[in-house]
Structure 1
Amino acid sequence: MMHICFVTDEYPKEGFPHGGIGSFVKTIAKELVQRGVRVSVVGINYTQNREYESADDIHVFRLPRRHLKGFAWWANARTINKTIAEIHRQNPITVVETAELGLAFLNKIKGVKYVIRTHGGHHFFSEAENRGIDPWKGFQEKRSFAKADAFITVSEYVKTHTAKYLSYKGKPVETINYPVNIDLFRPISKAAVDKSIVFAGTVCEKKGVRQLVQAFEHVKEAFPAATLHIYGRDWFFPDGSSYVKMLQDRELPALGPAAASIFFHGPISHLHLPEKYAEAHVCAFPSHMETQGLVVPEAMLMKKAVVFSALGPGPETIVDGQTGLLCNPHSPEDIAQKIQWVFDNPDEVDAMAERARTSALTKYSPDRIVGLNLAFYKSL
């Protein structure tokens, strides 16, 4: 039996927020199990407790978080290595998969293949965040890439952009998109709130939230009934200050009365996200940089008009004017124009939404994506 071991701290846990990597691993793990593959997930817990669960036949090992100043990385890596070795002794592992810097301190087991899936690492996002490379994180990613046997990239863009900073060293590289839960994200019989704009994702600069807030002023002038609903966990600056509070203190006052129609709802369970998409007249995700992004195909599957970034993987995800709209994420005026077009053209938007769902079903269905992953694993 093939046995895949995912190494990630983000596997969803009730009561704790998680990002796109966690959603991806849970989705693909369930599909792999249904294909007869054994799946283990190993990661550091949110607490100092060791926990094990086996939900949907996915074996999840959450390891106690260490807090040794300056040496937490070593202690956590030691715990992960020990756990993977124990799992391998009981049920031999075929493939270990992790994100960009995840192999830096893993011990390689003979006969096991080690795969990095490029979800968007430190080097990749350095450009979008307009910062330099942190020496420690940069070292870890380079060390990790050198230890990998193969790579999966989630879009052609992330493949080529990552290669600007890190070498694949001639090893196998395959582009395979994220799968999307087509059972969870499907049209539901809930009327959209007229002129409502919905954003979902981490509330931070690289997701284009600041420009979306600035764009809202223009939208509100043209459509006084417009509202903007922002769902997602807050991001914090290095000094610990909140990005949401920065927006509330610096950006919202400049909007005047329009600010009262912007709502920050905080984190939301992935299971409850479909009902929020359903309420949207338009979903807007003006990201400065993405690897692929799950929220866009999720909204497309629900027959929603989507405004996405023209940068990065945007053109791979949406055919502009056919299955959605692409915007310049650095231009509040352009973001506003695309949103206003949706409000102004209901008939064209309905047809666009139909095409969007068909496109997303074809490209991101778990059945297709898992088949591609299994074929790649077997090729190793």
Structure 2
Amino acid sequence: MHIAFLTPEYPHSKTLPSGGLGTSVKNLVSALIAEEIKVSVFVYGQKNQEVIKEDNVEIHLIKNKKYKFLRWFFYRKYIEEYCNSIIKRESIDLIEAADWTGITAFMNFKIPLVIRFHGSDTYFCHLENRKQKIKNFWFEKLAINRGQAFIAPTKFAGEISKKLFKIREKEIKIIHYGINLRNFENQIPHQFEKNLILYIGTLIRKKGVLELPEIFSKVRNDFPSAKLILIGADSFDIKTGSKSTWELMKNLFNEDDLKHVHYLGKIPYDEIQNYIRKANVCIFPTFAETLGMVTIESMAMQKAVVNSNIGWAQELIVDEESGYLVHPSSHDLYSNRIIQLLKNNSLCLEIGKKARIRVELKFDINKLVKENIEFYRKITNQKR
């Protein structure tokens, strides 16, 4: 079997910066290769046109093209033509695409198209209670209509997407994102920097970062030496029009708290693990997510996590056992959970140990890849 992925993100030195979507795709690709499944990856929106052959994967970088008018149509048709030429040449059996922006709207493939709900604009606008542009919904709806089947990383994301796009007859398979547990080992969980709180993720409103100034202030009332490290790219704020969410955050911290906040920006992926190891507590107060790769990566490294409690998160963590689930706007409870962990090293270690067990049970890519393969075979067999 030969599987292809059409994606806007894929971690590689020659691609544009990638986030959780790209990481989840690469984790799955690596696991498929280990199971002797042939894989091709189409990464669109790139600076250059290039084909890279690496680790038994053929990566096609599809250059971002400009058109005088109707770019949204002609660029999609260009991607379609390019993919179909490779599909025919390489005898690809199935192609999987992300739901974001409805990239497969107007595309026709002669093989089954599976769409994975990494998180559409429609989905995020719904969770944020934010008005969506009509054309964005239209593109995503057209793309959904062309999919033969769907995969969602959580039951919550699948059910919301099914409702929003009115999917009735086609199957939505729930398969969690996974990680290679060997890449997320922490042999010294008892060694960490006391009172160091770590956030990893884009600085964007939907990730709950604007809640952090008040939460951190409450933590420092009990732990004046507490330090907050933020890792991730800065971003435009859709509500205020600010070019920098970090600038908005700085204005919300009081002067003394800000002295204990260190924003590192986006750093190389392989360096992030060093900060996870050093952290006393990891926090992810997001309002909108489909699963949260960095949450399970932190859990795998035996870290006590205080996470959002919204929908999808309840499929990641057993509250008060393998982590804590708190609504991002509940500042008192959120800060109290952090304080509870900072006060008790034994509690941190116990929760971290159970977090690792939870990830081994639910998010081991070497187990999950078999579910993906079984689903791909089912869809390709239906086509024959």
What range describes the TM-score normalised by the shorter chain of this pair? over 0.9
Task: Indicate which of 246, 249, 254 corresponds to 2:248.
Answer: 246
CA distance, structure 2, for counterparts of residue 338 and residue 70 of structure 1: 53
> Is there any run of 5+ residues in structure 2 with no aligned partner, and where?
380-384
Q: Counterpart of 1:323?
A: 322
User: Could you give the per-residue CA deviations for residues 212-261 of structure 1, whole angstroms, max 9, x where no partner exists?
Assistant: 2220001111101100001011111354611112212x212xx2311111
User: Could you give the per-residue CA deviations for residues 127-161 of structure 1, whole angstroms, max 9, x where no partner exists?
Assistant: 23331121111001111111110000100110111
User: Could you give the per-residue CA deviations for residues 44-70 of structure 1, whole angstroms, max 9, x where no partner exists?
Assistant: 2431x2111111111111112112254
Q: Counterpart of 1:333?
A: 332
The answer to which of 308-317 and 181-190 deviates more is 181-190
The CA deviation at 1:293 is 0.7
The CA deviation at 1:107 is 1.5
CA distance, structure 1, for counterparts of residue 103 and residue 88 of structure 2: 21
Q: Counterpart of 1:68?
A: 67
Alignment root-mean-square deviation, CA: 1.5
Seen in structure 2, the aligned counterparts of structure 1 residues 120 and 264 have a Cα distance that, compared at 3 Å, is same
The CA deviation at 1:80 is 1.2
Q: Counterpart of 2:106?
A: 105
Secondary structure at 2:302's aligned position in 1? Answer: coil
Q: Counterpart of 2:178?
A: 179
Amino acid at match of 2:18: H
Amino acid at match of 1:21: L
Secondary structure at 1:341's aligned position in 2? Answer: helix
Amino acid at match of 1:114: L
CA distance, structure 1, for counterparts of residue 235 and residue 94 of structure 2: 33
User: Could you give the per-residue CA deviations for residues 248-306 of structure 1, whole angstroms, max 9, x where no partner exists?
Assistant: 2x212xx2311111111111222222111001000000111211111111111101000
Aligned residue pairs total: 373
CA distance, structure 2, for counterparts of residue 68 and residue 333 of structure 1: 51
Kept in 2, the 8 Å contact 1:176–1:372? The answer is yes
Seen in structure 2, the aligned counterparts of structure 1 residues 241 and 70 have a Cα distance that, compared at 3 Å, is farther
2:226 aligned with 1:257: no
CA distance, structure 1, for counterparts of residue 243 and residue 115 of structure 2: 32
User: Could you give the per-residue CA deviations for residues 300-331 of structure 1, whole angstroms, max 9, x where no partner exists?
Assistant: 11010000111121211111111011112112
Kept in 1, the 8 Å contact 2:76–2:104? The answer is no
Q: Counterpart of 2:372?
A: 373
CA distance, structure 2, for counterparts of residue 318 and residue 189 of structure 1: 22
Q: Counterpart of 1:271?
A: 270
Secondary structure at 1:164's aligned position in 2? Answer: helix
2:13 aligned with 1:21: no
2:232 aligned with 1:207: no
- TM-score scaled by length of structure 1: 0.94
User: Could you give the per-residue CA deviations for residues 5-30 of structure 1, whole angstroms, max 9, x where no partner exists?
Assistant: 10012111327421111111111101
Amino acid at match of 1:241: K
Secondary structure at 1:62's aligned position in 2? Answer: strand
The CA deviation at 1:181 is 2.5
Q: Counterpart of 1:55?
A: 54
CA distance, structure 2, for counterparts of residue 98 and residue 73 of structure 1: 17
CA distance, structure 1, for counterparts of residue 17 and residue 148 of structure 2: 31
- TM-score scaled by length of structure 2: 0.93
Amino acid at match of 1:319: V
> Is there any run of 5+ residues in structure 1 with no aligned partner, and where?
none
CA distance, structure 2, for counterparts of residue 141 and residue 246 of structure 1: 31
User: Could you give the per-residue CA deviations for residues 142-200 of structure 1, whole angstroms, max 9, x where no partner exists?
Assistant: 11111110000100110111123112231121100001131221114483111000011
Amino acid at match of 1:176: I
Q: Counterpart of 1:352?
A: 351
